Amino acid sequence: MLFYSDSAKRRVESSLMSFVPFRAARVVIGALLLASSAGLAHAESKSILVSLDRAKIMKVPQGVQTMIIGNPLVADVTMLKGNTSMIVTGRSFGSTNLIALDAQGNTIEESLIKVTSGDSSLVVLRGESQESYSCNPRCAPTVALGDDAKYMNDGIGSAKSRNAAAASGGK
């Protein structure tokens, strides 16, 4: 057991008392900063939901001069003339970010783009192979990411034959 003199005990208590409010203030300030930055990040970022192989027209925030897409394999963004609208196209499943910059390169807005499958799709798994169908209202074969290579090539071949027949007027 350790014994301290009264003066040593008062010095330790005094230093602890001056440290506790300082530490408490730092914790409170840190928590406030963290909460405000989380709220700010939440307020600035929004989600854009688009289906695979579909396009969506959206308004562009005022003052945007440049759009940066995080992963162009997941989604594509094209600004229309006048910089007031953009077209967001889903290219593959997943998510990526979109950053809007002004003429000076300052961030105006950041959004999360989520690309999902369409509502009317049906996927059939046969062992390890996958086949996709579009059902609106009846199901018909379609080509989608992840389909079996033979199924996909057959579907593309059928579409090319149909397009060629339509272009020639069925002759």
Tens-binned pLDDT, residue by residue, of the chain (171 aa): 445 455 555 554 554 444 444 444 444 444 444 443 444 343 356 899 998 888 999 999 899 999 999 999 999 999 898 878 999 999 888 899 999 999 999 999 999 999 987 777 788 999 989 998 888 778 888 888 889 999 989 888 888 888 888 888 766
Residue 16 has a pLDDT of 44
What pLDDT is attached to residue 47?
Answer: 92
Looking at the chain, how many residues does it have? Answer: 171
- Token representation of residue 46: 């929004």
Confidence (pLDDT) at 30: 43
DSSP assignment of 127-160: TTEEEEEEESSSEEEE--TT--HHHHHHHHHHHH
The pLDDT value recorded for residue 102 is 93
pLDDT of residue 146: 86
| pLDDT confidence of residue 5 | 53
The phi and psi torsions of 88 (rounded to 5 degrees) equal: -110, 125
**What is the 3-state secondary structure of 26-89?**
HHHHHHHHHHHHHHHHHHHEEEEEEEECCEEEEECCCCCCEEEECCCCCEEEEECCCCCEEEEE
CA angle, 53 as apex, 170 and 96 as ends, to 5°? 160
Quote the pLDDT of residue 33. 41
Q: Which domains does the chain have, with CATH numbers?
A: 44-116 (2.60.40.1080), 121-167 (no CATH)
Q: Answer yes or no: are the C-beta atoms of 155 and 145 closer than 8 Å.
A: no
Decide if 166 contacts 160 (C-beta within 8 A).
Answer: no
Q: Are 63 and 129 in contact (CB under 8 A)?
A: no
